Amino acid sequence: MSMEKNDTLFLLVKSLMKSEKRQFKLYAGRLGGNSEKNFMALFNVLDKMEDFNERIILQKTNIKKQQLSNSKAPLYKQILVSLKLNPFHKNIKTQIREQLDFATILYNKGLHKQSLKILDKVKNIALLNNENNLAFEIVEFEKIIESQYITRSMSSRADDLINQSKELSNKTVLLSKFSNLSLKLYSLLLRKGYVKTSEDFEQIKIIFDKSLPTYDISKLGLKEKLFLYKAYLWYSLITQDFVLSYKYAQKWVDLFHYNPIMKKNNPVFYLKGINYLLESLFLIQHVTKFKSTLHYLEQEIEQHNFFLNENTESLAFLYLYLNKINLFFLEGNFNQGIDLIPEVLDKIENFKYKIDEYHIMVFYYKFASLHFGAEQYEKCIFYLEKIIKNKGLKMREDLLCYSRILNLVAHYEAGIDQNLDVLIRTTYKFLIKMNELHLVQKKFIDFLRNLSNIYPHQLKNAFINLHKELKVFENHPYEKRSFMYLDMISWLESKIDNVPVESIIKKKALNKYK
């Protein structure tokens, strides 16, 4: 279920754990008479719903239709206040901000020395945890107090604050430039995907070189290094330099390995780093390192070595199971992968309010690919049609394009070829419209288009000839990714040798181990 299609208040209520619901009811009861108000009645109805239904709300409460939005707003706010009071949701940032709030209250009451004492203490905590933005905010507040009131501080106090402010300002500006570059490249990756030509490469290189600020790596803090490595990672993925992406994904993860406190303070970045390390290893087909990294991720999740909440729990599920499936692809164990699908579907249902629909479609593509590798072509088509028919979701173009190409091959293999010509034409037009028609794809579609003109006894030679044509692109800088979504080379080899594609890929995996 797409989160975008649901009511925001409903999603917030459904995200609550039992302990959080209990705490909210106690909190609301202490407000005085709130348990009888409309928003509590609304809470109880929403809590029991499986899907949002406005008609049921109006039936089971005294709320009139025109009052509904006014009842939802205070409920949403009070739930957030209740969650803020929950110790489970405390992290280093909220603790720093809480102390900053206390210092502000003391300042407003004229207790300037007490305010400065809190600020000095919490500033050290912020610096220790690499929260430079918050530290800068604290220093600026200290400067306001020192400049407006005589606190009889030591004579060097002003110089110390000015120097701290300059240093933190420089770090903040540099961090902002790194994060801006990282975000710009990530946006390009999502909108345009990988580079397709030398001209594309030059354009991305110019953007990267122009936007990358001058820096001294030895003087960078952990946060600045993190966003620098992220920027290099997106750049390497866009330019299809997957060895470079492995290098910077590893640097990203190493930051957390050598600074374990970061796992607790920035668990989302930590999980994403491991996921991109696994993705890079998958792209360079490094099976042994992929397996050891996947095992490491599983141990980190089981041992709770990072801060677990609803957000990180759903991310941990996504990254662990997407990469578990990728391992089946690397080793050619498609039938084993199919056995995992029911478990994944159950977990998707459990996290349905926390996982975006795009990632569900990614799972469907992987399910389809597993069924294709196991020669269960009708099940493959079943999952591909869920992606192809999903018109309302804006997905990455490569997922849409390769879903249609795999759909063509699955129809051919399943013998559902009565409308194959129509399917080929619509796929061809779609790829051109998406500007995703690579040379490899064109040759493959042309081959399928001409299949009806090939006699059965000529088929093996046709497969051999296509294999020779495509093999030269296997390591091509801009065409190689075609084989990562759909291993057409192995499929052709299975047709030539008349053996299952699973056995071809297993044999290749064993050679990689050696």
Query: If you average pLDDT over each of 41-55, 64-78, 168-182, which comes out highest?
Result: 168-182
CB atoms within 10 A of CB 245: 25
Spatial contact of 98 and 84, defined as CB atoms under 8 Å apart: no
CA angle 132/137/138 to nearest 5° reads 95
Which of 5-9, 380-384, 421-425, 428-432 is predicted with the least confidence, judged by mean pLDDT?
5-9
In this predicted model, what pLDDT tens digit does every residue of 339-354 receive, in sequence order? Answer: 999 999 999 998 887 8
pLDDT at site 136: 92
Look at 71 and 269; give whichever has higher pLDDT: 269
Band of residue 155 on the pLDDT scale cut at 50, 70, 90 = low
Q: Mapping DSSP to helix (H, G, I), strand (E, B) and coil, where does residue 109 land?
A: coil
Interatomic CA distance for residues 58 and 161, integer angstroms: 58
Region 419-446: mean pLDDT is 79
pLDDT, residue 385, reads: 93
Q: How many CB atoms neighbour CB 20 within 10 A?
A: 18
Q: What are phi and psi of 53, to 5 degrees?
A: -145, 105
Counting every residue written for the chain, the total comes to 514
This prediction has a pTM of 0.79
Whole-number mean pLDDT of the chain? 86
The per-residue pLDDT for 476 is 83
248: exposed, middle or buried (C-beta count within 10 Å: 0-12, 13-18, 19+)?
buried
One-letter amino acid for residue 295 of the chain: H
Residue 510 and residue 57: Cα distance in Å, rounded? 59
The beta strand positions in 165-278, using DSSP E, are: none
Band of the pLDDT at 4, cuts 50, 70, 90? very low
Q: Which token pair is 151? A: 């606190």
- For residue 277, give the nearest of 350, 326, 311, 312 by alpha carbon: 326
Least confident of 54-58, 121-125, 333-337: 54-58
Residue 162: helix, strand or coil by DSSP?
helix
Q: Which residue do the tokens 């030895």 mark? A: 218
Q: How far is the C-alpha of 504 from the C-alpha of 494, rounded, in Å?
A: 6
Q: What is the distance between the alpha carbons of residues 491 and 500, in angstroms, rounded to a whole number? A: 8
- What is the per-residue pLDDT across 176-189, written as a single tens digit (0 to 9) for each? 999 999 999 988 88
